[in-house]
Amino acid sequence: MANVEQYLKPEVIRQISRLDLRAQFIVKGFLQGMHASPFQGFSVEFSEHRKYTVGDDPADIDWLVYAKTDKYYVKKFEAETNIHGYLVMDLSRSMGYTFRQQLNKFEYGICLAAAMAYLMIHQQDPVGLITFDKKVRDSLPPKSKRTQLGNILSLLAKLKPTGETDIARSIQQIAAMLRHRSLVMILTDLFADPDEVLKSLHQLRHGGHDVILFHIMDEAEVNFPFDGMVEFEEPETLDRLEVDATGFRNDYLAEVEEFRGRYRRECSQAGIDYVPIDTGMQFDKALTEYLAQRKIRC
């Protein structure tokens, strides 16, 4: 497992400069790790098969897959495999924050998006890319051709976290743009009014789309490793505030837990996959959530 983990640690990935190689390293480590996981045998098959359910023709069972997994799967019809995927990237300035100077939230999200694009293209699933700050900025339509991976990686590599953000408005724009049932994978730190963001996410779900919300926070934003008097800067307004970090820690951690807990509860009720991540986590956690979602929905 040590060899697998070296491909999945953010501090290792940071040492690789090219985004295409970062994506390949992450996916390689992920798929190697799958062989020791409960998903064994499904890492290659999941895009082409779905679980056998009552009403399926037993003649459609793939016995080769059964031999490897000890579970019943049937071949999916072509129409079932053509889910349109959209990677949705938050360009807000707050995404550029990092405490330990490892991967910042934005770089972590870019690597994760690149790895998911790599997986989808190699599974021949159409995937596109949408970016936003206060509104949608880039929109690359989904395609499943191998050249699409280069298009997505090229655009991802050029992106910078520089703008103010309006997450709710941008999600509403995206909901209005989508013409086909899609898998929408949103990568954001959710630094916005939860009431408005959740309302827009419900609108997206109401349109019949599957949604995975990757909530990316810096590990310091989750663990608050500060002591004494510390000056903090609001990343988008640049307002500064000095606080007693030691006395503030418990209240802060309780607020973070409540913030994440609310998204977890309300996303679950809406049928949205909520994935809380921090930049110290190995990438396989997020990719396993992606795979599990595909496995359940297919």
279 phi and psi, to 5 degrees? -70, -5
With 60 as the cut, is the pLDDT of residue 87 above it? Answer: yes
Measuring CA to CA, how many Å separate 199 from each of 25, 166, 173, 193, 204? 37, 13, 13, 10, 9
In this predicted structure, what is the pLDDT of residue 43? 39
DSSP 240-295: EEEEEHHHHHHHHHHHHHHHHHHHHHHHHHHT-EEEEEETTS-HHHHHHHHHHHHH
Task: Pick 238 or 188 by higher pLDDT.
Answer: 188
Q: What pLDDT, in 10s, does the model give residues 114-173? A: 999 988 888 788 999 999 999 999 999 999 898 999 999 999 999 999 888 999 999 999
Determine the residue type at 80: E
Class in CATH terms, 82-297: alpha beta
Task: Pick 185 or 15 by higher pLDDT.
Answer: 185
Place of tokens 């297919």: 298
β-pair partners for 229: 244
